[in-house]
Structure 1
Amino acid sequence: MHPRWSLALLTLSQAFLAGAFPIPWFVGSSRHRDLDCDPEAPEPSQNALLTPSPSISGAQTASPIDSPADSAPYSDDGPSVPPSSSSFAPDATPIQPDSSDSTSYPNEDPSAAPSSSSFAPDTTPTQPDSIDSASPSYTSTITFTDPHLSIQTVNITDIPSSQDPTLTSAKQSFPDTTGSLITTLQTEGNPPVQPFPTSLPTITSATLQPLDSSVPFGNATATGTPSPVTGTITFPVSTFETVVVTQTVTSVPVETTAVITAVTVLPTMITADGSVVATSVVGTTVVNTTGTVLVETTLAASSTVVGTVATTLTTELGSIASLPTATSTCLLSMGCYGQDLFEPVALGPPPNSIGFRGGHPVPPLGVLDLGGPLETNKFYQNFVLGSQSSPSFVMPYSLTWAKGSGNALSWGMAISHLDESQKVFGPNNTAIPNTPAGYYINAIGIQSIILSAAEFGPNTALTTDSLLAFSVNVHLQPSLGSASVLTMPVVQGMSFVTGQYINLQPAIQSSVFFRNIAAAGQPAPGIYKYRVTLEDGKIWLIYAIPANGLTPNFQLVSSTLLQGLPNWYGDIQIAKLPDDSLESVYDDAAGAYPTAGHIAGYALNMTAQYSLSWSKGGAYSANTTLLMFALPHHRDSFDSNTRGSITNLTLATTTKGKATAVVGDFWILEETSLPVSLGFAPWRPENAAGPQGAPVLSPAALSTIQRISAVEASQNMSAQTNLNSMYYSGKALSKFAQLVYTMHDLLGQQDLAKAALLELESCFDVFSNNRQQFPLLYDTDWKGLVSSASYVTGDSGVDFGNSYYNDHHFHYGYFLHAAAVIGYLDPTWLVANKDYVNALVRDVSNPSSLDQWFPVFRSFDWYHGHSWAKGLFESGDGKDEESSSEDAMFAYGLKMWGKTIGDASMEARGNLMISVLSRSLQNYFLMTSNNVNQPSNFIGNKVTGILFENKADHVTYFGADLSYVQGIHMIPIMPFSTLTRTQQFVHEEWLTYFADGAVRQAVDIDGGWKGIVYANLATINPSAAYNFFTQPNFDWGWIDGGASLTWYITYSALLGGATT
């Protein structure tokens, strides 16, 4: 907890320093003064607000390294003040360039104890003469009150503004600038098996008998709906804030030995949590003396109480649109009218057919708020899995709990960022044109800057809370349950890594080694800035914002340690500076940071706008605009207002090109060509804006396809769909659904289609009644629908890791498509099956936090613009996705299911997701020759293969054959394929791999991959694809178990291969 009454030491430092260096105070919206244009502004060497590193003495003479996490309160009689010359340092030794053996930072290595209570004269950090002459030293004894109005005395000595380390406490005598590489695939949950069944029953003749399609299905009506269910929903609708101001607390005399010619008294209003809320100049007292003077300052304090008014609402759970939204302010430039994109799907529990079970094989580690649904596929997942010490890729930074590792032997949070030039590339594939590298990767384990505390050690605990779609709060404590804590709000795209210190001694460390640290003035009163140069030549910025008035007064202890004051409260922000000319961009944003992300949006006709906005924290958040990093696909879709806030500050990302800093508390993004006309039939995006014109099959094509469809519809659907895998079963259900649709709507075979549909409905009922080989369970630990397969077999990889939340969007997207077709052809079927299918939707893609049964957007990452497939498996290279096309398949299934059931929000959301996916896939996964986001010596591969957060590897989990690697980004070939896989891309890929004479020419491919490759060809050459599939003596082995020859021929024909 922050002290209720704390003296603002910032005020006192300014008071006695303002006397030595009088400067004008000015007000206005600008937080900076241009030295070139303003002759009254002080030169850098005259910065009166500069407060560099101190020596500390306090109520107890214990080494700060060994100070307990929770200090005992000072006695009312006041502390015993040690001599002002006392100082504390860890056991440090001079740097030994020729030896890797050196004494470690004692707190980080319990075997090393301090051997001295002060630096010896010959180990004092060097102070360049030029700095000494420009920055004289001033000493002041300052007395202030603690939370219980006891007295504490702090001796502060301002030292030169630039420091070079002369000591090291590192594990080795040289900086660690290389890190480590994971060059092998981490295959947990990804068995090396083909993405479709390889042995299926086949028949050669039609045996299915047609039914009269004029007779209605069953006794239900198409408009039948479940009986209304009422429920009670409690949610916040407003907040209130009350400010209670407390009068004068105490008057504090300050004795100073400096020459004082003027003193400015700055009363500072401090809230109950210690943050500065107001500072004003109330007058200047001129003192003409060179002796000792007393400067008296008066403290006042205020407390702020924030609460939430909750309203309980009883409504029909089906009447979702009537619920009030959480945000009343519309941010969209098009206005918030049209269709709300993020209405909840449902609010009740999963269907009764799905049982509940706790005790998931992977428990959430260190999660403090276990009551609600927990995300399973997000960028921060490594914080709650396994060792908790694998990286989390926030973009553009990565964060890793050091956990006693590295040169600094730190137990803090390590921050890393690698430039584009630091990427490591695998061997070139000489068989592919332009010989692209087989993979690229970014080193992990480079601990450039570490946010830590002197109290951290082997007992340090990492916990988390608020596991949300865009963010998580990460806490480090000296031991579990300690009141002293370092909290980091980790939000995608954040420009600063921010640490909130509560009653800790800040320790900023580096395993790369500090080369130089310079105090760099104050971007705003109360913000202390430091410029850090590491031994790799990279420059980082540190901003310290004290919450209780106690300046950080950092001291450079060694090449790995910059240490602050004990018992400190406040925020420390870290950012990497790629270009000196852009430093002011960070300065303007310091003091504020995002704490959580939000998404909202509306669609109207073919246009959708959505906002990414952020909650803010920080002492200066009320009047400081956030700085957030955008990825390339964001920039491409910004509206005009957001584009106007783009800066020139960019940082490389690990796998998404350059991130660009944007000033704004929210972004507006838009998609202006939503695929609203996309349906079940073959489709081209260039016709999306107008009537499709419904191309008609030629008589010869119609006759050929009708014969083949009758054969395919006679297959044993049950044998192909009731499998031991949700993935394989879903693919088969989807295949037969597309077959039945094609027969009914495109081939004029309504009677035969009805017979096939009845069998398909019976097959789907096995799953909606949860009677498949491995039924689904509702996991009460993480809150989701998982296969029971791993619970039964003990194998985490069975069904591609479904029980561990791997690939849910791949698996359930096929079910959505199958259900959409069935419900379209037989609306009466929806009455009994809608809740089950909606439960699958909610598991993967719940759009609203009002639905407390599932996390919000488990798989789809609205920051990255695509989904992540990896679930509850710790991974050194972060999350990954192998099949970009099956990602799009889920969005397509969502759209079509929403259309079938009349859920306009779901349908519009599916349209937006397809559009966003199309944009992001073409930026990051499907690489044409003009791609600027992936490395130039990698784009020749045409697809990324498996795209991780930290690397791209041109392989698959089940093999490296080029037809697999390219084909996994094709399956399934569906109407959306022409949108996500552009004609330019398909053309370049075909020439590179599949054309006659190419490295993997299509004529030589075997098995189901051959059919996939030729169906893909229909995008650019439908006639060639049609001729391939209709050739005499066609080998049915070229059609994989998840595909239909009827559909492939119809698709090729209607794209232009055989129309009239």
Structure 2
Amino acid sequence: MSKTNSTPAETTGDIFTAISTTQPSTTLYSRLASKVPIPSSVTASGAIQTNNFWGNVTLGDQNSYIYTHPYVVWKSTVTDYFGLAVSHQDASKRVYGENNDHGAPSYFYSAAGNMSLVLGSSDFDNDCSISLTNLKKMSIDITLSSSNAGSLTASVLQGMGMVSAVYNDLIPEIHSNIGIASVSGDTAPKAGIDKYKIVLNDGSTWLMYVTLTDNQTCSFALKDSNHIIGSNSINGCYIQVCCGDFSDYDTAAGCYPTACTLSANVDGSVGTYAFNYTTVGSGTTPLIYALPHHVDSFTSTTSGKKSNASLNDTVHGTMVGYLTNIFEMSEQLPTSLNMAPWSAISGFTTPSYSTDELNAIRAAATLDIANDVASLSNLNSMYYSGKILDKFAYVLYVLYYVLADEDSTKSFLSSMKTAMERFTGNTQIYPLCYETNWGGICSTGGMSTGDSSVDFGNAYYNDHHFHYGYHLHAAAIISKIDQIVGDGTWVTKNKDWINNLVRDVANPNEADTYFPVFRNFDFFIGHSFAHGITIYADGKDEESSSEDYNFAYAMKIWAQVIGDTNMENRANLMLAISSRSIGTYMLYQTNNTSMISQYIGNYVSGIKFENKIAHTTYFGTNEEYIHGIHMLPITPASSLIRSPTFVKEEWENFLKNIIDNVTDGWKGVLMLNVALYDPATAYNFFNGSSYSSNYLDDGMTKTWSLTYCAGVNN
């Protein structure tokens, strides 16, 4: 027999209510400013996004790429091409690496820097300046200003079907470094809107719509093979450009989105979320491009708004345009998921254990609880210390809920509290601080020296969801067990510290001005981005899909412990969206029709950027690294994302052929992953005579490995 834990009921309501709006403790957290400043061109109050799709434009010279999908935009500083550059590259122009051991390309990317068109002006010169306003999670306004004339402003959003710029007191000039084969006037789609068809030297066709206000006029003509010039200055008029010659662009012409808000509601185990677009212009319906995982989850509210426009994206397959100002999507939420082992294997119900299995688990636990957790977790890394704390938190779970050993539970709970309180008291080797430039809880490691390599760049907002997810889950288990066998006060004493980690990564509401809204999770892309405040030309990236959803799972368990239904609903929604998105763009079953067909033979993405996917890791090219970093840690949430079908295909078609050559901790990671489709084989490995503790990753214990494998082997 084993104890079980209950699952709270789901409710409806506004799930994006703020966790808190108070500033993090000035006593606990020192105030330090990042070595990376906020540019003077930024107008914003409160915390600023660090891992967002438009992040590159807030860094350095502010002229690196923003990936809006399917377009790429950036400030061009090239002489004769000043302005807002726009690029779209067809799939035929992708660059592929040499085939690897999978027989698939080792990487692919799009050439982002080709300026298909540039929304510019003959008034722009070397002194063309940039300013940023209305910095939101899902949009930003970029203004380029002439030193002696006017300016243009573009609202930049993911999925925007047209790149639109409002011209104020400028003579418009459209550039192309690809070269313009022809430009011709076309039939006006609506009164007050002129239409032009532009054919570039690469064979691509672009449409340009010019909306003229207040009885203004402006005609456009080819100036030379790289420039289209307007006849005169315009004010309050806007120009829209879009790739492809699709008739439904005419329907959307004159209307464009300026902002997007996220909404969601939960009804039982169904979560419905929406992107609500604020629009301006002469029409009421913009064209918004949807990613494949959006299309697969659209409700009838949106699915019927499909247009005839479609474009290849950089790394997400084909995007389809929809004539709508709302994307509404529905997901089945993992409401039954809790602290106990869980599996998507057909026939699984609840974990159960035989006497022999309990004896094996008890023997492993006896050895694991003999460890000095406080000493082992006394590390100069939030990441590695978090892994240590959390692996022993799973042992604490097993002691009470599986082995029903209350005496050992109480004793080990005390050890776990001692270890954890070094961090909740902020007395670890590199304490946390509140970073004041961007707004967030950061490690002080590397903060004063400007060394972005310390603790994987935590001080630069790298990997916060990876690091804090482990601490969050460990704290949730300690709190839960303390409520049962302790005095029940630990959660109250440490709730603010733990909630600050949640706020840092997944603050749900702008009312909380101390942290950006959802620093890591990108609701449009459907997974998180790990990369913070340094420029990457290929955009933001993520290496470990599993440590991504591990944070959402940890947030869910913490929410269950403190009874925060809204937080649990948000976590459930993030998990459901992650399952769909990661299962499309990062984990590839052989029947995947959304991703680039040449690449799915790799089974896993490796490092996924916004413009590139590379089958590698930041720490080495071994296949066990590349596959294993998308597995660890194996938790009750793993099977939700890593389906039994996918795990079986990945294992039987590739990993089983390399496992005998793996002799370190990655062997344990790969073998525990086998439990997601064949738990009996995995259990026999960890309980077999050939097992060695050398096979355990530093975030694994034999206790949890046996408990998970046996628990899901019904």
Using the size of structure 1 for normalisation, the TM-score is: 0.65
1:420 corresponds to 2:76: no
Contact 2:125 2:146 in 1 (8 A): yes
Name the counterpart of 1:288. Answer: none
For 1:740 and 1:758, the matched residues in 2 are separated by 10
SS for the counterpart of 1:873 is: coil
How far did 1:411 drift? Answer: 1.5
SS of the residue corresponding to residue 164 of structure 2 reads: strand
For the pair 1:568 / 2:234, whether they are aligned, the reply is yes
What SS class does the counterpart of residue 340 from structure 1 fall into? coil
Kindly provide the amino acid, as one letter, of the partner of residue 206 in structure 2: W
Q: Is the 8 A contact 2:290 2:321 kept in 1?
A: yes
Among residues 512, 530, 545, which one is paired with 1:884 in the alignment? 545
**8 Å Cα contact 2:287/2:321 also seen in 1:** yes
Once the two structures are overlaid, the 10-residue window that deviates more, 520-529 or 1010-1019, is 520-529
Query: What is the distance in 2 between the residues matched to 1:368 and 1:957?
Result: 32
| Equivalent in the alignment of 2:224 | 558
Alpha carbons of structure 1 residues 389 and 985: separation in structure 2 relative to 1, 3 Å: same
2:173 is matched with which residue: 473, 492, 507? 507
- Given that 1:466 and 1:472 are in contact with CA atoms closer than 8 Å, whether structure 2 keeps it comes out as yes
The Cα offsets for residues 774-824 of structure 1, whole Å up to 9 and x where unpaired, read as 111111111111111112443111100110000011111111111111111
| CA apart distance, 1:954 | 0.2
1:591 paired with 2:250, answer: no
Q: Secondary structure at the residue paired with 1:466?
A: strand
Matched, 1:657 2:317: yes
Q: Please show how residues 907-946 of structure 1 align to structure 2 within 5 Å.
A: 907-946=568-607
In 2: Cα distance, 1:460 partner to 1:514 partner: 24
Q: Distance in 1 between matches of 2:468 and 2:27?
A: 17
* Deviation string, structure 1 residues 893-941 (Cα, Å, up to 9, x no partner): 1111111101000011111110100000111000011112222111110
Letter in 1 for 2:259: A
Q: Paired residue for 2:554, among 874, 893, 899?
A: 893
Aligned to 1:300: none
Query: How far apart, in 1, do the equivalents of 2:32 and 2:225 lie?
Result: 49
Stretch moving more, 863-872 or 517-526: 517-526
Number of residue pairs matched? 701
Q: 1:736 to 1:571 in 2, by over 3 A?
A: farther
CA distance in 1, matches of 2:225, 2:527: 41
DSSP-derived class of the 1:387 partner: coil
Choose the corresponding residue for 1:375, options 25, 34, 49: 49
Larger RCO (alpha carbons 8 Å, 6+ apart): 2
SS of structure 2 residue aligned to 1:533 = strand
Residue matched to 2:712:
1055
Tell me which residue corresponds to 1:522.
Answer: 188
* 1:1037 match: 694
Partner of 1:43: none
Q: Distance in 1 between matches of 2:346 and 2:30?
A: 47
Distance 1:449 1:559 in 2: 12
The answer to whether 1:633 aligns with 2:293 is yes
Is residue 2:447 matched to residue 1:786? no
**Which amino acid in structure 2 is aligned with residue 674 of structure 1?**
L
- Shift of the alpha carbon at 1:722? 2.1
Q: CA deviation at 1:356?
A: 4.5
1:678: which partner in 2? 337
Taking the TM superposition and a 5 Å limit, the aligned residue runs for 1:241-640 are 338-404=12-78, 409-429=80-100, 431-432=101-102, 435-479=103-147, 484-578=150-244, 580=245, 582-583=246-247, 585-618=248-281, 620-621=282-283, 624-640=284-300
Pick the structure with greater CA Rg.
1
Rounded Cα–Cα distance in structure 1 between residues aligned with 2:118 and 2:321: 22
Q: Distance in 2 between matches of 1:789 and 1:538?
A: 49
Q: CA deviation at 1:749?
A: 1.8
Q: Secondary structure at the match of 2:447?
A: helix
Partner of 1:979: 640
Q: Distance in 2 between matches of 1:694 and 1:654?
A: 42
Q: Which has the higher helix share?
A: 2
d(CA) in 2 for partners of 1:860 and 1:693? 30
Corresponding position: 1:1011 with 2:672: no
Relative to structure 1, the CA distance from residue 749 to residue 778 in structure 2 (aligned partners, 3 Å threshold; closer, same or farther) is same
Where in structure 1 are there 5+ consecutive unaligned residues? 1-335
After TM superposition, which residue ranges in structure 1, 4 or more long, deviate above 4 angstroms? none
Which residue identity lines up with residue 601 of structure 1 in the other structure? Answer: A
CA apart distance, 1:483: 7.0
Cα contact 1:983–1:1019 (8 A) shared by 2: yes
Given that residues 516 and 533 in structure 1 are in contact (C-alpha distance below 8 angstroms), is that contact kept between their aligned partners in structure 2? yes
* Cα separation, 2, equivalents of 1:952 and 1:616: 33
Partner of 1:732: 388
Query: Quick one: which amino acid aligns to residue 45 of structure 2?
Result: G
User: What is residue 851 of structure 1 aligned with on the other side?
Assistant: 512
> What CA deviation, in whole Å up to 9, does each residue of 1:817-845 have, x standing for no partner?
11111111113211111111111111110
Tell me what 2:3 maps to: none
The alignment partner of 1:771 has SS state of coil
Rounded Cα–Cα distance in structure 2 between residues aligned with 1:677 and 1:605: 11
Q: Distance in 2 between matches of 1:552 and 1:801?
A: 50
- Superposition CA RMSD, Å: 1.7
Within 1, Cα distance between the matches of 2:203 and 2:240? 16
> Within 2, Cα distance between the matches of 1:1053 and 1:712?
18
Whether the 8 Å CA contact 2:216–2:234 is kept in 1: the answer is: yes
How far 1:759 sits from its partner (Å)?
1.3
Q: State the alpha-carbon separation in 1 of the partners of residues 39 and 242 from structure 2.
A: 30
SS in 1 for 2:446: helix
Q: CA deviation at 1:555?
A: 2.7
Letter in 2 for 1:440: F
Counterpart amino acid of residue 558 in structure 1? D
Q: Name the CA distance, whole Å, in 2 between partners of 1:656 and 1:573.
A: 27
Are the aligned partners of 2:44 and 2:134 in contact in 1 as well (CA < 8 Å)?
Answer: no
Cα deviations across residues 399-455 of structure 1 (Å, max 9, x unaligned)?
Answer: 1211116xxx311111100111111110012x32xx111111111211010001111
Deviation for aligned residue 1:352: 3.7
Once residues 469 and 32 of structure 2 are traced to their aligned partners in structure 1, the CA distance between those partners, rounded to angstroms, is: 25
Match of 2:374 in 1: 718
CA spacing shift, 1:640–1:1015, aligned 2, 3 Å? same
Fraction of identical pairs, as percent? 39
Residue of structure 1 in register with 2:477 after alignment: 821
Given that residues 344 and 851 in structure 1 are in contact (C-alpha distance below 8 angstroms), is that contact kept between their aligned partners in structure 2? Answer: yes
Give 1:750 deviation, angstroms: 1.9
Q: SS of 2:242's equivalent?
A: strand
Alpha-carbon distance between aligned partners in 2 of 1:448 and 1:883, rounded to the nearest angstrom: 33
State whether residues 123 and 149 of structure 2, in contact with CA within 8 Å, keep that contact through their aligned partners in structure 1: no
Give, as a single letter, the amino acid of the residue that structure 1 aligns with 2:675: A
Match of 2:452 in 1: 796
Do 1:496 and 1:574's aligned partners in 2 also have CA atoms closer than 8 Å? yes
- One-letter identity of the residue aligned with 2:684: N
Change (3 A) 1:895 1:972: same
CA contact (8 A) 2:679 2:709 kept: yes
**Greater Cα offset, 1011-1020 or 378-387:** 378-387
- Does the CA contact (< 8 Å) of 1:339 and 1:904 recur in 2? no
Name the CA distance, whole Å, in 2 between partners of 1:560 and 1:1053. 67
Report if aligned partners of 2:89, 2:112 keep a CA contact under 8 Å in 1.
no
Secondary structure, aligned partner of 2:500: helix
Q: Do the aligned residues in 1 keep the contact of 2:218 with 2:232 (CA within 8 Å)?
A: no
Show the counterpart of 1:960. Answer: 621
User: Partner residue of 2:486?
Assistant: none
Partner deviation per Cα, 1:309-364 (whole Å, 9 max, x = no partner):
xxxxxxxxxxxxxxxxxxxxxxxxxxx98132211111111134443535311112
Distance 1:889 1:990, change over 3 A: same
For the residue of structure 2 that corresponds to 1:522, the secondary structure is strand
Secondary structure of the equivalent of 2:136? coil
